[in-house]
Structure 1
Amino acid sequence: MIETVMTTAYTDQKPGTSGVRKKVKVFQQPHYAENFIQSVFDVIEDRVGATLVLGGDGRFLNREVIDKAIRMAAANGVARVIVGQGGILSTPAASNLIRQSGAIGGLVLSASHNPGGPDEDFGIKYNVANGGPAPEKVTEAIYARTRAIDQYRVVTSGEIDLDRVGTQELNGMAIEVVDPVAAYADLMQTLFDFTAIRGAELTMAFDAMNAVTGPYAKEILERRLGFAEGTVRNGTPLEDFGGHHPDPNLVHARELYDLMMSNDAPDFGAASDGDGDRNLIIGRGIFITPSDSLAMLAANAHLAPAYADGLKGIARSMPTSAAADRVAEALGIPAFETPTGWKFFGNLLDAGKVTICGEESAGTGSDHVREKDGLWAVLLWLNILAATGKSAKQIAEEHWAQYGRNFYARHDYEGVDSAAADALMAELRGKLSDLRGQSFGDLTVQSADDFAYHDSTDGSVSSNQGVRILFEGGSRVVFRLSGTGTSGATLRVYLERYEPVGGRLDADTTEMLADIAAAADAIAGIVRHTGRAAPDVVT
């Protein structure tokens, strides 16, 4: 039975870089989730008779909202829904299923690396037919619809069993419950040399952070690649991620970091986040920054079967360090600088202009899907270690000796008062035209701008993507407000210093960036605006 339910629009459902993310209690308001889901269906063309993929990261509210979404899909003419067993699908696995099944798109229920639980975060985003996040023209249309919606449609009768693999029916719509891991694991096996990785007899520790990647890592690392049982730690997905913050950085994965810096460290350490699209890479005795990881993976990708013929190009988000650009130049391939958000990489991947993409926020991926992919990055690192017989530290040191080193850090000021954060950015933008030639300590500003991206594939322009201050000699600082939080604002400040070949390549990162950090505060008035004497998280 299809029921039409009258509703009242909410005004706060504007999708960010990865859909709508709010506190669970916001999503538990009457009709809140339904309004957003119906707005997506209202915007999707040709949904009648189409296939839709559904899944999430298993956080609190995941199953309840998936049940609602299935019922609403059936009421809106969708012919088939493919859903992960138990409502589970990592974000890259969802992207893969969309592409493999010819689906019109998919609803991915996740707040990514944000904490989960009744008092924490939830999110919904829509991915389009290429498997990637909806482009801005689609998210803008969805937002416009959320502000005008006055009713939604839902099938109220019939049972849905998310735990039984196989096909069910609801109001004439097929519900295909699938093993969430199998298709993704099979894809990984086509990209990498599993035989070589297994034969290298490496040891490793993988922290799944009680998030969605646990089952994927156990299947691939322990079963298919033969790593010892227990290699995957915190491998059971929990609705609250065990009370921890599922963000793979040096703060929230401290136990893994301490292990990798100890005398008992295995050969390789890695972690992934809430929905499986981010990664942390730590070799024995060395942390590899996400920016460096992107560059090193690109430089060595030819060692994996899928990339043996070389790369078409490399893309990075603007805040990501320029280390990957130096690799692209050496390889004679294009390098692209885009705004933050994986949707901007999608057009380049679809156009065949790039093969590997990355963001400094621990996201890397390739043209195998249209999302960043945490386990993919881990497996490519393992393939490189197996093929070279070198350690991660050797790979890094040899890379810097060849290309120079981009010392890099991101300072996050979390939960900043939104008005204060907006005032900081407005004041900063107001002084951009006057900064050139000014000196801050030993640093002199070469140029300053508010980054705007001109998409070479569709001609679109994305403005106000972050403020860049470039200093003479190749150093820089970038300021932007993140769209991934659920309360207040997160100010992100990116610090970068390039040290050329023959320079102080083994110096301490904090020491090398100290003058740039001081200049950042002097230019933007971080302490004055936020009241924070230090960042909450440094990565």
Structure 2
Amino acid sequence: MQVTTIPTRPIPGQKPGTSGLRKKVRVFQEPHFLENFVQAIFDCAPELAGGTLVLGGDGRWFNERAIQTILKMAAGNGVGRVVVGRNGLLSTPAASNLIRELKAAGGIILSASHNPGGPEGDFGVKFNIANGGPAPEKVTEAIHARTQGITEYRRAEVPDLDLATLGETRLGELTVEVVDPVEAYARLMQRLFDFDAIRDLFRSGFRMRFDAMSAVTGPYAKRILEDMLGAPEGTVVNATPLPDFGGHHPDPNLVHCAALVALMNGPDAPDLGAASDGDGDRNLIHGPGLFVAPSDSLALLAANAHLAPGYAGGLKGVARSMPTSAAVDRVAAKLGIPCFETPTGWKFFGNLLDAGMATLCGEESAGTGSDHVREKDGLWAVLLWLNVLAKRRQSVPEIVRRHWAEFGRNYYSRHDYEALDAGIAQALVRDLRAKLPALPGRRLGEETVTLADDFAYRDPVDGSFSEHQGIRIGFRSGARVVFRLSGTGTEGATLRVYLERYEPVRIDEDTQAFLAPLVALAEEVAEIKKRTGRTGPDVIT
């Protein structure tokens, strides 16, 4: 086997964001762009030399081509073994599980998660470390630094591998094993959940619609929901992963799951509607006539997790990202367990999970998970909901409203202003940050500001410090508004505005109407319309 060293030079724009490096497909297709970043990973992760690497992605455009390139580079960089999903497919949580199960040195996951696919869409590369979770900031910073000084990359000159056939192939000293992408993940789900109770639920006439959004979760949902749990054929729709996601925007929210939402609000709604995103780590939960917001879903799952065998012993703690509503905090208080508030990004949960300080984690952006892997997990969340429904034998709306009656309701919404001019968005946040010292004690509308800061986090496990994680403005009433620039987009900037108000008694109000005064306060203090020219958000969730 011949290994070639290819000269290169640094390429700007290779700084990983919240979930790896994301760019347009056409950018990754430019000469040396993918190779430079992957070589930087190998250079910054010496444990991969002679070790095991897990490799796969969500099947989006450029997925298979990128995998062939990475396999040849793995051979050229002395990796001992690569385990890759058949046809290059691995959901993000399944990849995390394989890393952990195989005690691999790490994994490379190819995905831009919920971003659009296709030749004009997005692509991404993320490195996960040996615990199965996203690389921490110190690692991604080292990778970025390496991309700025790279001069060469190494590649084995070998033919493309057959990724459709299970089994092993040798590339010099490298062993490549193609595995069933679903098998190990399905075994894990069987250990966590009461499959017999869920089968009985489906036998009782329970109806469900799962929209895989033509993304990677389709094969997982078909195997587990229909083949193993006995849900009727056709329960899973859009089940075949497609390079362009069938034209879908694979983000499981009320806008991009319009057909599912219409069904669930219609006269013949099934008992549960669910969806997952491009790489399988996000989820949508919808009951007949009632959407369960991700923040509420996290709280409800924390309150009911003991009904599943994998969590029957109770939770060690829970964690949520700072912009996520405080609904789960109230559950944690009742259970007598700690609740941690972290920056956005699943990597911040990893230390808490590894240290045994938390069991369930969640983010308002439709991501929920537990200590079974080190990623959020869309299908896992759906299966836990099914386990709860099978044990409680109540409808989704009944379970949700009983929860609100006990704990009160955190009315919550996120308003996204997408594809803003990056300079304008950054100036908006910069100027808002400058206003913070003068805000406490000031009246805004009917509210009085009691907190105004830029969230910073000291990791309780390793002591690492992260700052500028989102601007928080809190009011005497307990309401709050959070402003944050997203790190998951590939074009321009996305401004996210999070709005929350707790109400202990009036639990059946319309969310947007109830939060309208907060929306007005957010506009007043940040001058969003004046600065961006937008008359309103692009997406409301």
| Aligned counterparts, 1:128-207, within 5 A | 128-201=129-202, 202-207=206-211
- Give the Cα–Cα distance (whole angstroms) in 1 for the partners of residues 448 and 228 of structure 2: 53
What is the letter of the counterpart of residue 170 of structure 2?
E
Tell me, in whole angstroms, the C-alpha distance in 1 between the residues paired with 2:311 and 2:477: 34
* Corresponding position of 1:440: 444
Deviations 1:241-291 (A, max 9, x none): 001100000000011011011111110000000000000000111000000
Deviation at 1:45, TM superposition (A): 2.3
Q: Is the 8 A contact 2:68 2:160 kept in 1?
A: no
Give the letter for the 1:380 counterpart.
Answer: L
Q: Trace 1:327-338 onto structure 2 (pairs within 5 A).
A: 327-338=331-342
1:41-60 equivalent positions in 2, closer than 5 A: 41-60=42-61
| Aligned counterparts, 1:198-237, within 5 A | 198-201=199-202, 202-237=206-241
* Partner-residue secondary structure (3-state), 1:134: coil
CA distance in 2, matches of 1:160, 1:234: 28
**TM-score of the aligned structures, taking structure 1 as reference length:** 0.99
Aligned equivalents of 1:16, 1:104: Cα separation in 2: 22
Distance in 2 (CA, whole Å) between partners of 1:46 and 1:536 is 43
Partner residue, 1:12? 13
| Cα deviation code 1:154-210 (max 9, x no counterpart) | 011244111110000112210000000111011101100010011012210000000
Tell me the CA shift for residue 333 of structure 1. Answer: 0.2
Q: 2:473 aligns with which of 469, 472, 476?
A: 469
Q: Is the 8 A contact 2:208 2:273 kept in 1?
A: yes
Aligned residue number for residue 280 of structure 1: 284
**Displacement after TM superposition at 1:499 (Å):** 0.3
> Aligned pair 1:420/2:424, yes or no?
yes
* 3-state DSSP of counterpart to 2:449: strand
Report the alpha carbon displacement of residue 46 of structure 1 after superposing the two structures with TM.
2.4
Which amino acid counterpart does residue 76 of structure 1 have in structure 2? Answer: N
Quote the Cα distance in structure 2 between the aligned partners of 1:172 and 1:456. Answer: 41
Alignment check: 8 A CA contact 2:22 2:489 kept: yes
How far apart, CA to CA, are the structure 2 residues paired with 1:156 and 1:213?
33
- Name the counterpart of 1:449: 453
CA contact (8 A) 1:117 1:240 kept: yes
Q: Is the contact made by 1:8 and 1:150 (CA closer than 8 Å) also made in structure 2? A: yes
Q: Tell me the distance in 2 between the aligned counterparts of 1:406 and 1:9.
A: 47
One-letter code aligned to 1:115? P
Q: What does 1:299-378 correspond to in 2, within 5 Å?
A: 299-378=303-382
Taking only aligned residues, the RMSD between alpha carbons, in angstroms, comes to 0.6
Q: Distance in 1 between matches of 2:47 and 2:238?
A: 41
Correspondence list, 1:253-264, <5 A: 253-264=257-268
Q: CA deviation at 1:79?
A: 0.5
Which residue of 270, 277, 290 maps to 1:266? 270
Structure 1 residue runs of 5 or longer lacking an equivalent are: none
Structure 1 residue 459 displacement after superposition? 0.3
Q: Is the 8 A contact 1:423 1:529 kept in 2?
A: no
Structure 2 residue 102 is the aligned partner of structure 1 residue 106:
no
Distance 1:425 1:159 in 2: 47
The answer to whether the 8 Å contact 1:273/1:279 transfers is: yes
Q: SS in structure 1 opposite 2:523?
A: helix
* Cα distance in 2, alignment partners of residues 48 and 25 from structure 1: 30
Q: Distance in 1 between matches of 2:446 and 2:158?
A: 70
Misfit runs of 4+, over 6 Å:
none
Which residue number corresponds to residue 126 of structure 1? 127
CA shift for structure 1 position 338: 0.1
* Cα separation, 2, equivalents of 1:438 and 1:233: 51
Structure 1 residue identity aligned to 2:92: T
User: Residue 267 of structure 1 contacts residue 283 of structure 1 at CA under 8 Å; is this kept in 2?
Assistant: yes
Tell me, in whole angstroms, the C-alpha distance in 1 between the residues paired with 2:26 and 2:201: 48
Contact (CA 8 Å) 1:59, 1:239: kept in 2 or not? yes
Q: CA offsets per residue over residues 434-464 of structure 1, 9 Å max, x none? A: 0111112211111110000010000000000
- Partner AA of 1:239 in structure 2: P
Count of equivalent residues: 537
Q: Which among 512, 518, 521 is matched to residue 519 of structure 1?
A: 521
Q: Within the alignment, does 1:65 sit opposite 2:66 as a pair?
A: yes
Question: In structure 1, how many angstroms separate the alpha carbons of the residues matched to 2:389 and 2:509?
Answer: 24
Q: Deviation of residue 13 (structure 1)?
A: 0.4
Matches of 2:248 and 2:516, distance apart in 1: 31
Q: Counterpart in 1 of 2:75?
A: 74
Name the amino acid aligned to 2:503.
Answer: E
Which one is further off, 380-389 or 432-441?
Answer: 432-441
Contact 2:48 2:106 in 1 (8 A): no
- Give yes or no for contact 2:38–2:70 (8 Å, CA) kept in 1: yes
In the alignment, the residues of structure 2 paired with residue 157 and residue 237 of structure 1 have an alpha-carbon distance, to the nearest angstrom, of: 28
Is the 2:315–2:360 Cα contact (8 Å) retained in structure 1?
yes
- In the alignment, the residues of structure 2 paired with residue 70 and residue 40 of structure 1 have an alpha-carbon distance, to the nearest angstrom, of 13
Q: For residues 485-514 of structure 1, give each alpha carbon's deviation from its aligned partner in whole angstroms, at most 9, with x where no partner exists.
A: 0000000000001001xx211011011100
Residues 249 and 331 of structure 1, relative CA distance in 2, 3 Å threshold: same
CA–CA separation in structure 1 for the residues paired with 2:428 and 2:160 = 52
Structure 1 residue 105: Cα displacement = 0.3
**Structure-2-length-normalised TM-score:** 0.99
Contact 2:281/2:378 (<8 A) preserved: yes
Q: What letter is aligned with 2:229?
A: L
Q: 1:531, 1:517 → 2: CA distance?
A: 16
- Identical-pair percentage: 65
- SS at structure 2 position matched to 1:431: helix
What letter matches 1:126 in structure 2? F
CA distance in 1, matches of 2:391, 2:47: 46
- Cα contact 2:78–2:173 (8 A) shared by 1: no
Equivalent residue number for residue 535 of structure 2: 533
Please tell me the residue identity of whatever aligns with 1:521.
Answer: E
The answer to whether the 8 Å contact 1:247/1:274 transfers is yes
Asked if the contact 1:158–1:170 (Cα under 8 Å) also holds between the matched residues in 2, the reply is no
Could you tell me how far apart the structure 1 residues matched to 2:398 and 2:177 are? 46
**Aligned residues of 2:470 and 2:484 also touching (Cα < 8 A):** yes
Shift of 1:425: 0.3
In structure 1, give the amino acid aligned to 2:405. Answer: A
Deviation at 1:227, TM superposition (A): 0.4
